[in-house]
Chains A and B, each alone.
Chain A
Amino acid sequence: MSGSGPFFWVTVSFSVMGMAFIVIPMVRLATAPSLADLATAGRDPEVLRAIWLSLYTSGAAALIAFVTGTPLAYLLARYTFQGKRLVESIIEVPIVIPHPVVGIALLSALGRDTWAGQALGRLGLQIMGSVTGIIIVLTFVGLPFYLKAAKEGFESVSPRLEKVSRNLGASMWGTFVRITFPIAWRSLFVGLIMCMARAISEFGAVVIVAYHPMVASVLIYERFEAFGLKYSQPVAVWLVGVCLLLFLILRVLTLPRKTAE
């Protein structure tokens, strides 16, 4: 691309506009509350509890996604089978349906008057208004992001390496543990962070299944509704700070690796 034609300038202008659209609201948000307000919010037990709850429920969701999603991601990366496209489309459903609908769908399947809900109830687990419910919601919305990243990670490992490993005497399990996982782990980890970031940002589905205990996004909404913009901003800044930290880690981890072929 030559540096000075109209095409170049149009491209640059629109890029700057796009960036400004993202950056300006974030900067305005971050600079709106005074340091005193931020400090107060940072000492507010309710705020700390909500952010901690957000972090650990989304962490738990990421962990569940890791355990249940890894085999599926591997399957999708390695095998072709009838209906594979369908499976891949189903996986993306949580991304495309409106968030309150996710909450309603989960309650429809796991609510108190469903057989699954009653089975969970007998185990002492309740969905409505519980940490368990929040974790289930967050797993639902976060899982597709993990699956996508993990599948791409497994696809980047040449099947030939697995073949050589089998050929040298390793079982399929041994091969996965010694070859496939160590080469793909970076992608899996990135997937976990994506999954967790998505889970932290969830509001619409959580608010339907569990308004209480309050995760950070619900607390921000409640403060906005009850007290107005000024009171929701400091909490929002704290939550954004946490999310940015997660993405910073993500960027660092996706830097080019040294030993890759």
Chain B
Amino acid sequence: MIDLQNLWVDCRTFRLQDLTLKIEAGEFFVLMGPTGAGKTVLLEAVAGLMPSTRGKIIIGGVDLTTAPPEGRGVGIVYQDFALFPHLTVLDNIRYGLRFHRTDPGGAETRLQYLLETLRISDLKARYPLHLSGGEKQRVALARALIIKPKVLLLDEPLSSLDPGFREEIRALLQTLHKSSEVTFLMVTHNFADAFSLADRAAVINNGRIEQVDTVANIFQKPRATFVARFIGMKNLFAARFRSNKAHLGDLEITLAGPAPNGAEQVAIRPEDVILQSPAESSSKENTFAGVVKGVVEYGFFVEVQVAVGQVVFRAAISQKNLLEQGIQEGDPVTLFFEPTAVHTL
């Protein structure tokens, strides 16, 4: 449905470089990346709100590289909702209809459907100023969807919402996606959103695509250092490989299978690193004795940094476990991880 071919976009401060991406019709595709990676620029380029300098934008088989934004059949919903402040909720939603007069009857049906599905019937006469964040987002979604776009672009639609609204809108997005034939392209830097909504995802950094894959694969098998870091594989070490062993200096780690050719690093998720007291140490593979170097609070969980020789592993454990095990800085500790938890890249 969306076919970006070698796309370049130049802004004053930033550019997208040679970006190629194919998104299937009806797919829920997520674009992940850190702030300033170029995610919004990419969406605006697809919507025709930002000119591209090279490459092609093909949507639904039609080359729209130079088409004006009003002729693309692409809807966009921004993080800050961008509701028209001088129009009521109903006038906001109906705004696009005057430019899409093909089937007035259908429009009225769609309006009723959207008002009901998004539960905004009672807000029709209100002005955006008097809406909560979640309400604003629902109005913005209705406004974008009423003109039946082929593609809906969502620019971090959940990130400026309170946690309660967040889950509600997330569920709504799922409903809307399933009940329509619209292709969704959503930008986010929230992994939970990606996991719960998307089929496939791309990780973008500094104007370039680092990896395109299923969401599960991106989290399980990152193919680039940046991706591994981005998805939180904090244990990322340069290694030398020999059959199913990886050597980190003097440390020998067992892999689930032989390392692929060209592998240079091992990556282990912090939540896959398990801490035990030295007394209950086992003889399993990948069991190492170390010393606690630090404990960093992250709210629901803590990150324990354990030095094994020269290598510092990071283990994510719950607050409860930390208290039960009585782990403190300077304590000797045994850490363990399954060979299947070790990824190579």
Contacts and interface: CB of A to CB of B under 8 A. Distances in A.
Query: Do A and B associate with each other?
Result: yes
A161 B99 contact: no
A171 B96 CA distance: 11
B85 A169 contact: no
Interface stretch (B26-34, B67-75, B279-287, B327-335): B67-75
A169, A171, A179, most chain B CB atoms within 10 A: A169
Nearest to A185: B86
A165 B86 contact: no
B237 interface: no
A259 B76 contact: no
Interface in B308-322: none
A158, A170, A171, A261, most chain B CB atoms within 10 A: A261
Given A163-B76, A261-B83, A168 B49 contact: no
Contacts of B83: 261
Contacts of A163: 44, 47, 49, 69, 76, 82
Interface string B87-110: 000000001101110000000000
A179, A183, A259, most chain B CB atoms within 10 A: A259
Contact of B96 (A160, A168, A183, A260): A168
B147 interface: yes
A164, A179, A260, most chain B CB atoms within 10 A: A164
Contacts of A258: 127, 129
A168 B147 contact: yes
Given A161-B82, A183-B85, A183-B86, A166 B69 contact: yes
A167 B80 contact: no
Contacts of A168: 70, 75, 95-96, 99, 143-144, 147
A171 B85 contact: no
B226 interface: no
A98 B74 CA distance: 55
A124 interface: no
Given A161-B84, A183-B86, A260-B129, A169 B49 contact: no
A259 B85 CA distance: 6
Interface string B139-170: 00001100100000000000000000000000
Given A179-B84, A260-B85, A261-B85, A169 B78 contact: no
Contact of A166 (B70, B78, B127, B128): B70
Nearest to B47: A167
A261 B85 CA distance: 6
Contacts of A179: 84
A182 interface: yes
B84 A169 contact: no
A169 B70 contact: yes
A160 B77 CA distance: 10
B96 A169 contact: yes
Given A166-B49, A167-B49, A170-B99, A259 B69 contact: no
Give 4 nearest A-B pairs by CB, closest first: A169-B99, A168-B96, A261-B85, A166-B69
Interface of A: 158, 160-161, 163-171, 174, 178-179, 182-183, 258-261
Given A164-B82, A178-B95, 14 more contacts: A160-B78, A163-B82, A164-B76, A164-B84, A165-B95, A166-B49, A167-B69, A167-B70, A167-B75, A167-B76, A168-B144, A169-B99, A174-B99, A258-B129
24 contacts: A158-B82, A161-B84, A163-B44, A163-B69, A164-B76, A164-B143, A166-B49, A166-B68, A166-B69, A167-B69, A167-B76, A167-B144, A168-B75, A168-B95, A168-B143, A168-B144, A169-B96, A169-B98, A170-B95, A179-B84, A258-B129, A259-B86, A259-B129, A261-B85
